[in-house]
Amino acid sequence: MQALRRVPALNATYENETLYRHDSINLAVAVALEDGLLTPVLAGAERFSLQGLAQESRKLIERARANKLQPNDLQGGTFTISNLGVIRQVDQFTAIINPPQVAILAVGTVKQRPLVIDGGLHIRHTVHLTLSGDHRVVDGMHLGQFMAAFQAELDHFSQ
């Protein structure tokens, strides 16, 4: 999540009218279970590449679904990712911020869609991302900067 390094305003929590910006990125991952939703935390997510982050989050999700989380696995999140893209019909959605965090990224389904590239029509796999922020402490510019940085990170990964 190098995008959070570039836009540190979103790697924060807001409690008791105080904003706390965090050095470490503790990525909460929304996991749907039969009896509800959990957001286990991948602490120190900045240590991982995008591929490493995917591997580590899969392990965390497996532990959540196997009911093998420890209490500290559910604490200290500084930013959440919610992926309803596993449900093919969910192209996009708006996720609710997980207090006291100040932002959440919603990920829809990856699908083949038409794109215009250099004046030509092409079919590419794309995904709709929606970023929600707590406007008491961040604004649209922060959200836009994050999305631009995240897109650059994805573009770099795909090369």
Residue tagged active-site, from 128, 135, 142, 156: 135
The reported pLDDT for the residue numbered 153 is 87
10: nearest Cα among 91, 87, 105, 93: 105
- What is the helix (H) or strand (E) element at residue 8, kind and residue range? none
How far apart (Å, rounded) are the C-alpha atoms in residues 141 and 37? Answer: 30
Three-point CA angle 52, 61, 135, nearest 5°: 85
Average pLDDT over residues 137-156: 94
- What is the helix (H) or strand (E) element at residue 58, kind and residue range? helix 50-65
pTM strictly above 0.85:
yes
Convert the pLDDT of each residue in 97-127 to its tens digit. 999 999 999 999 999 999 999 999 999 999 9
Residue 45 has pLDDT above 90, yes or no: yes
Residue 104 has a CB neighbour count (10 Å cut-off) of: 24
Average pLDDT over residues 145-150: 96
Residue 135 bears catalytic tag = yes
Region of poorest pLDDT, from 7-11, 38-42, 84-88: 84-88
The reported pLDDT for the residue numbered 156 is 82
